[in-house]
Amino acid sequence: MTADLWEGFDALDPETITGPMWDEPVPLNPRRALPAFPVHTLPLWLGDMVAGVAEETQTPVDLAGCLALGVIATAAGGRATVCVRGHWREPVNLYTAVALPPGNRKSAVFALMTGPLLAVEKTLVELSGPVRAEAETTARLARAAADKAAQKAAAAEPGLRDQLTAEAVQLAQQADELTEPAKPQLVADDVTPESLATLLAEQDGRISVMSAEGEIFDIIAGRYSGTPNMGIFLKGHAGDMTRVNRQGRDAQHIEAPAVTMGLAIQPEVLDAIGRVKGADGRGLLARFLYAKPVSLVGSRNLTPALLSEETAATYAKRLGGLTMVLADWTDPAVLTLSPEADAVMLAYQKVTESRLGKGGSLAPIVKWASKRDGAVARIAGLLHLATHPDNGWSLPIEAATMAAATEIGDYFTAHALEVFDAMGADPAQEAAHQVLTYIRDNRLTGFTKRELFRGLSRGDFPAMGDLDPALALLEEHGWVRQLPLPPRSGRGGRPPSPRYDTHPSLTPPRMNA
């Protein structure tokens, strides 16, 4: 009876009623929730400045935080080293790079954080004026005396010529040995490798490159030379002896060059860095401490609290004082660890080592992570000097300072994992994330390609064809589905824009209030 009841009826396909069924979508590569710069690890005078600058400029605290480390490294670079254990010593210069899109007021943050350094630089130039003037005059007189002696020897009678020639040669040698000190300079902007080497020779082996543009990477990649030139940047970070050849002068050896870099770059520059020939293999990428904060543009407070004059004045006084005290040091101060600080450092080393092996969390960035402990030691030295700007070189680094440095090390580790992952990722991944976020935020159950293009930023998708890799990846992962194109009418004209449906999970029903 039951079979007779359904005789003559065709079985219905459920999808005829509900539409095509959706499988569970495959997630795109997950984005890490990156930590913010741990301002509380900084000495109070430095942390207050970082927080105040970030609030007034409405920028991520990461930018001012990384620059805070950079300015202390500028003050102390080449003037102090950290004796970690045995013969393991770390200089206290750092390379930091913060990735932020345009419009994030990077120049304003740089001006506030580096202003006291430029003021100290001006003071050092003024103080050195008499010394430079005396040296210049002495050298000029010595050269004049040597020239006069040479002329006298040339015009002398044969019997006196040999003696006068010897005297002229001696005076010429003495004139050549006289040096004229260069104007003191603490901070440079984007410089070529050749000019950086010259600055190191002139500035007693140390210089800092602080830039809100980050064009230095284009220069390293060979903007002017046509080939990558990174040797001085490698040696300037590690403190390896370098030889500087300057036109018309004898070659100079810099025993322990100390270059500090504090850069702000656009996020896409990170991809370009990864493609610089030799940058990874020779270790340039591993020398940088990266930060990739979320931009606040679009959600900024338009009436923020302003940086207090007291905070700015205290910052300028402490930073300026530390810079001035260390400016004339020739032999670097050796900062030692207390037994407790050494125990903290050793525990951190064990964690790093355990995560470097195959399958470990740091294995994907093993080159960078192999330098992580050294970076933490450098940061500890900087925090120590900032905590004791008057006598830090006579005190051991304490356990609390080392613990603070390890927390900053963990912060940079999280960001390095994200940055190196992005460097090696398929470019379509980032575009797909942007499209998926737009669909979810706008609760789109369907759209045409043209409608999607109109809704997205032209800066990210200049042409409609730029959407193709992202849409293909989203369709492959099951987040969107392209519908069949309707038949053409035969009347000509522009073909219809492809239409897509979106996965139902992107537009869940709204809950009643």
| CATH classification at residue 89 | 3.40.50
pLDDT, residue 18, reads: 46
* Number of domains the chain contains: 3
- On whether both 316 and 199 belong to a single domain, the answer is yes
**19 assigned to some structural domain:** no
Q: Which domain holds residue 170?
A: 130-177
- On whether both 406 and 326 belong to a single domain, the answer is yes
DSSP per residue, 486-509? PPP-SS-SSPPPPEEEE-GGGSPP
- On whether both 116 and 162 belong to a single domain, the answer is no
Q: How confident is the model at residue 110 (pLDDT cuts 50, 70, 90)?
A: very high
**12 assigned to some structural domain:** no
**457-483 confidence digits (pLDDT tens):** 887 888 988 889 889 889 888 899 999
- On whether both 313 and 431 belong to a single domain, the answer is no
**6 assigned to some structural domain:** no
What token pair was written down for 29?
């590569």
Given 424, 449, 464, the domain boundary residue is 424
Is pLDDT of 120 > 70? yes
- On whether both 486 and 399 belong to a single domain, the answer is no
**474 assigned to some structural domain:** yes
Question: How far is residue 93's CA from residue 208's CA, in Å, rounded to a whole number?
Answer: 9
The CB density around residue 467, as the number of other CB atoms within 10 Å, is: 20
- On whether both 229 and 81 belong to a single domain, the answer is yes
- On whether both 321 and 376 belong to a single domain, the answer is yes
Q: How confident is the model at residue 226 (pLDDT cuts 50, 70, 90)?
A: low
Alpha helices by DSSP H, listed for 224-338, are: 231-238, 267-274, 309-327
- On whether both 240 and 314 belong to a single domain, the answer is yes
Given 157, 177, 197, the domain boundary residue is 177
Question: How far is residue 451's CA from residue 401's CA, in Å, rounded to a whole number?
Answer: 54
Chain centre to alpha carbon of residue 507 = 38
SS3 83: strand
Residue 135 to residues 130, 141, 175, 189, 472, Cα–Cα distance (Å): 9, 10, 11, 28, 69
- On whether both 269 and 391 belong to a single domain, the answer is yes
CATH number of residue 501's parent domain? 1.10.10.10
Is pLDDT of 63 > 90? yes
- On whether both 238 and 250 belong to a single domain, the answer is yes
Is pLDDT of 485 > 60? yes
Given 424, 455, 476, the domain boundary residue is 424
Residue 321 to residues 183, 308, 385, 393, 457, Cα–Cα distance (Å): 20, 20, 11, 14, 47
**468 assigned to some structural domain:** yes
Is pLDDT of 217 > 70? yes
Percent of the chain whose predicted confidence (pLDDT) is above 90:
49
- On whether both 86 and 160 belong to a single domain, the answer is no
**322 assigned to some structural domain:** yes
pLDDT, residue 229, reads: 74
Is pLDDT of 123 > 80? yes
- On whether both 173 and 226 belong to a single domain, the answer is no
Beta-strand pair 446-448/499-502: antiparallel
> What is the number of H-type helices and E-type strands within the chain?
18, 13
**32 assigned to some structural domain:** no
Beta carbons within 8 Å of 501's beta carbon, 6+ residues apart: 445, 446, 480, 481, 483
Beta bridge partners of residue 448, listed in sequence order: 499
**390 assigned to some structural domain:** yes
